[in-house]
Amino acid sequence: MRAKTLTTRVGAGLSTTPGAANAAVEASRDAASAIGGAHVDLAFLFLSPHHLEEAVVAAHKVSEELSPRHLLGCVSQGVLAGTREVEAAPAVAVWAASLPAGTVDVFHATTSDADDEVEVTGIPDVRASDLVALLVDPFTFPTAPFLSALNSEQPGVPVVGGIATGGGQPGAQALILGDEVFDEGAVGVALSGVSVRAAVSQGCSPIGEDAVITGAEDNVVFELAGRPAFERLRTEIMNLSPARQRLAAQGILAGLVIDENRSEYRRGDYLMRALLGADEESGALAIGERVRVGQTLRFHVRDAVSADEDLDEVLAETLDGATAAGALLFTCNGRGSNMFERPDHDATAVSHALGLPAVAGMFCGGEIGTVGGKAFVHGYTATAAFFLRP
């Protein structure tokens, strides 16, 4: 007797039909059709801010249509599915996966004050997980400190997700877990027994050369390779072509190597952080991340061309010939039409890399992804999780 193959299947649907209920039904049916009637082990529901008041109704409709074992979702600034991105209009995106070989553990994390510290509760032990996906309310959950603690206490787990930004104020977002809707904390899922690969595209290109930090305190870099940091930056900008100098004038980023155990560093080895300020007199540079002496830094610039090239390169390296059933995608609200001339850029790129439109996700006010084996909050970034076929 031939053993039955446990095949991962993923489907996605998007609807701009008026009304959250009708849109949720339409998107769910498209997702269900794509997986050929297989049982849904995990579903995601992404709603534009127009559907905030109907989030409960939309969640019920998805449950009725798909009967998922587990349902997660949120209201955020924009949604995407297949090769389409909807940044400003009413829309509903649904992602559904049949994961017959996997274990799915969903959770709602909240915070409480304990001994003058913020304590996060509700997170399961994820050390054996193949992936953690996290959807976060920006006003009630300390995402960066939580990820820092996770890196220390349960290291090495790939994490993807995003910070929901429904309307830029408390209460304008909503988090969905099953048939319940929450206005605080974070909802997430820990997956094990699933073949998955996570990707982070930070959309930058390097300038100059790598330099070791030889003087620093907190988030201030005083010296790079024995020279004042500001002097080093100015020299590297002066050595650029006129076109690159114009690009640098729009903003410089500091790329920090997280995993130093490599003979050479490539794009995916740097954590990108904004250059916050410079003091020409002291030669110091302030960046948006704590640094340490001995860490390697390289300056970067960001534009649409760099972001396009970086995403294509990251997608190719992540899949590396493997066949994926589908993907979750979290992209920055500063990308999309704010960065690219052509619409639907990131959704189209991921769908083409998959070879099918089994992708869904949202626009975020901060993207969660793993660089150098550690999870961080990013900006102007696209992060994704690819679910591979056996």
Q: pLDDT by residue (tens digit) across 185-199?
A: 999 999 999 999 999
Q: How far apart are CA 93 and CA 82, in angstroms?
A: 9
Hey, what are 10's tokens? 């993923």
Whether the per-residue pLDDT at 4 is higher than 70: the answer is no
All residues at 6 or more sequence positions from 166 whose CB lies less than 8 Å from its CB, including other chains: 49, 52, 75, 76, 77, 172, 173, 174
Whether the per-residue pLDDT at 100 is higher than 50: the answer is yes
**What confidence score (pLDDT) does residue 5 get?**
52
Domain spans in the chain, listed from the N-terminal domain onward: 9-201+308-388, 204-302
Task: Residue 181: name the closest of 71, 289, 302, 268 by CA.
Answer: 71
350-359: average pLDDT: 96
Q: pLDDT by residue (tens digit) across 60-73?
A: 999 999 999 999 99
User: What pTM was computed for the model?
Assistant: 0.93
Q: pLDDT by residue (tens digit) across 251-308?
A: 899 999 988 877 778 777 889 999 999 999 999 999 999 999 999 999 999 889 889 9
* Average pLDDT of the chain to the nearest whole number: 93
**What confidence score (pLDDT) does residue 3 get?**
41
